Structure 1
Amino acid sequence: MKKKVGLLGGTFNPPHMGHLVIAEQVLEKAGLDEIRFLPNHVPPHKQADERVSVNQRVVMLQKAIKGHPRFSLEQIELERAGASYTYDTIKLLMEREETTEFSFIIGGDMIEYLPKWHRIEELQKMVKFIGVNRPTYAHETPFDVQLVEVPNIDLSSSYIRDTVKKGQSVRYLVPDDVYRFIKKEGLYE
């Protein structure tokens, strides 16, 4: 029987409680064996934030998921230079792990954006998409997406960065160890 792995991609700049809630809910409700957090090197649809290094994002992610036996870090996109396209990532993962069935977890914002994804027609044949609800998005797409209902947590990494920049606390929005790391490193100030 194939191992069922959910991939949760993103910049994770920083990882927050919303990411962890999504991962835990999808793990259980979609019947997956594990969730791998997939930090991207350079997302094709966003500008890279040069103020926070890839290594700092990885450290924050490690701190966020430590202690969860079914959460891990997948660094395949950090091993490559250039834009991180999901098609290329899934192709490489499938070559490396032939006995694993991969699902790609996306938020409501990305469900609507799927028609613009790089090589989406081919990607749809390679990986199962699991979409989670996100406030203010319609979740409509011509592509096959399994919807998983998760608690509505209207939280984003950009909100956290902006809050820190204003000198306000983000305690309880990010895991404690991530909060301490942000403070210690002076990130987003």
Structure 2
Amino acid sequence: MREGLPMARAGQTVGLLGGSFDPPHAGHVNITRQALRRFGLDQVWWLVSPGNPLKSHGPAPLEDRLAACRRLMQHPRVRITDFEARAGTRYTAETIVALRLAYPGVRFVWLMGADNLAQFHRWQQWRWIMRTVPVGVLARPGDRLVARTSKAAQVFEGARLSGRASQLLAYAEAPAWCFINVPMVDLSSTAIRAQGNWG
């Protein structure tokens, strides 16, 4: 059974962690807990996507991934949702538009690992995303330097908040982004699939 759409009130701050979660793992849990604390968020929503347009192979069935996420991420301020499947969106920019229409007054922050910032310029309408919602970037093993020197980081260098100002991110006007270092959990869904530990 799919979980219903998450609830949020106008004025609340909600971090959005999108991905295929194929499978979800302790690294996702780690950055979620760190984002709640470091960015001062009221909630974090895991947007479990039907598929990733940048990946050539489709993920495991959505219902299986949703169930795995619910088993792994148990926190009173974290919601697991199939919003993208319900809204019929495929790209992050489309999802942000749909979320802002569905939840007027909610302050959304897009969350990503540093590995995603490194290739963010490949995302559809990535400049629009940066200019529309604040972005919180959480460092993962081996990705810090390449993320900080990425095209997106260079183009929007003037919009970067210091790590000490991370609590202000959700209330900043976009473009605004913040890069924080967090305790490392060196896991990836790709490595887990390669080891045959999923699906």
TM-score, length-normalised on structure 2?
0.76
CA distance in 2 between partners of 1:157 and 1:78 (Å):
21
Structure 1 stretches lacking a partner, 5+ long: 171-186
Out of 65, 75, 79, the position equivalent to 2:82 is 75
1:108 equivalent in structure 2: 114
2:131 equivalent in structure 1: 125
Cα drift, residue 101 of structure 1? 0.6
Out of 184, 187, 192, the position equivalent to 1:155 is 187
Identity, in percent, stands at 29
1:4 aligns with 2:13: yes
Amino acid at match of 1:70: R
Give secondary structure in 1 for the equivalent of 2:14. strand
Residues 56-96 of structure 1 deviation map (CA, whole Å, 9 limit, x = unaligned): 01111111123x10010122112255x72110000000011
- Do the aligned partners of 1:30 and 1:148 also contact (CA within 8 Å) in 2? no
CA distance in 2 between partners of 1:55 and 1:48 (Å):
17
**CA separation of 1:39 and 1:48: change in aligned 2, threshold 3 A:** farther
Cα drift, residue 157 of structure 1? 0.9
1:17 equivalent in structure 2: 26
Cα drift, residue 148 of structure 1? 2.0
1:179 equivalent in structure 2: none
Aligned residue pairs, count: 164
- Do the aligned partners of 1:4 and 1:101 also contact (CA within 8 Å) in 2? yes
- Do the aligned partners of 1:7 and 1:104 also contact (CA within 8 Å) in 2? yes
**CA separation of 1:33 and 1:15: change in aligned 2, threshold 3 A:** same
TM-score, length-normalised on structure 1?
0.80
Out of 22, 27, 32, the position equivalent to 2:41 is 32
